[in-house]
Structure 1
Amino acid sequence: MQRQVGELKARKLNRQETLEEERKAKLPANWESRRARAEWELEREHKKKECEKRGEDYNRIQALEVSAENADRWERKRKKKNPDPGFSGECGRSINARRGREKSDTLYPMAHSLRHGTHEPSGEGVDRMVEDLEKQIEKRSKFSRRRRFHDDADIDYINERNANFNRKAARFYGAYTAEIRQNLERGTAV
């Protein structure tokens, strides 16, 4: 008889454990972290209410409870994060586009906000513009375009590529071949 009672208890406990395992299997994968987060938020709200009752600042009390090591670690982590992820999806693009339109409406006048013929330039502004234009004209007159070739120089090339090759060869070997070139031009062989 006791054996049957023991078996019944064992079956009952086994059934309860099986049901508990099934219940846990049906829960989301991040259930434990979500539950811990919810408990932390409830505790935080409770602390806030206690601080309000005592007339204290919750943020200050919270800052006093954080160790210097944790604060330093959180600060380094916060600095590593990029504050502006840019276009991080369709939603981000639409938000940034809307912000851009709002800024452009205030910064740049539109057709409906312009009033033609109402602006009269000041005398100082006109003088500055004239002075700037005169400086530009003077600068242009001093500028001369660099010539690509000299009319007086001997032509020792058949096209631009060959002219470039000859310039490089003269730069590297010109000092060594100067005497040979002079002898060839005079018509005397060495």
Structure 2
Amino acid sequence: MASATEGAGLSVDEESPVSQKREERLRKFRELHFKRNEARKLNHQEVVEEDKRMKLPANWEAKKARLEWELQVDEKKKDCVARGEDYDRVKLLEISAEDAERWERKKKRRNPDPGFSGYAEAQLRQYQRLTRQIQPDMENYARQREECGEDFHPTSNSLIHGTHVPTKEGIDRMVEDVEKQIAKRSKYSRRRAYNDDADIDYINERNAKFNKKAERFYGKYTAEIKQNLERGTAV
């Protein structure tokens, strides 16, 4: 009996490492299976979120940030009203000097030209642009002021017509500026000069452009036909 028990004990001792390895493998398998399910679940959530983002408008992030900013502004306004304060004044107090300087620089860089809205507005913008380019001659200004005396600031009784004579430098500067304007205007028009020697094979400008395109693409194929037609017309 003792020997049998000892033999049985030996068999249990021999099988225990095998069972431990099997349990370890099963535990690792369950952990791997759990991690795989978690990864699959997270991947599915990411796919769903990505699909939602793809269906949103292109400017959704900017619109969302704008809405959040407007909500914050509304809350601040309500708080100011509750405390009896002026919101605009509180807002100015919160702006730092660096932000104010950056906004001023950005405002100066912004192009105020709204585009063509009428000939009167275009003429006014042209006048303002030209006057901004004028560099005043303070020495000449002071000299004329001394020479004219009280007539430098004329009244209804002053007679100064014909008394002013422009200097040669002023005339040259004006001529140079006018020549620059003429050169700049000449670049605006892209209309090509008319060639008197060219064949007239069109009825209007649109038809002329079409004929030029057709000649550019198919001219080498129709050159012989055109020559035969011209010879037949000449005969």
Shorter-chain TM-score range: 0.3 to 0.5
Larger RCO: 1 or 2 (CA < 8 Å, sep 6+)? 1
Q: Give me the TM-score of the superposition, normalised by structure 1.
A: 0.42
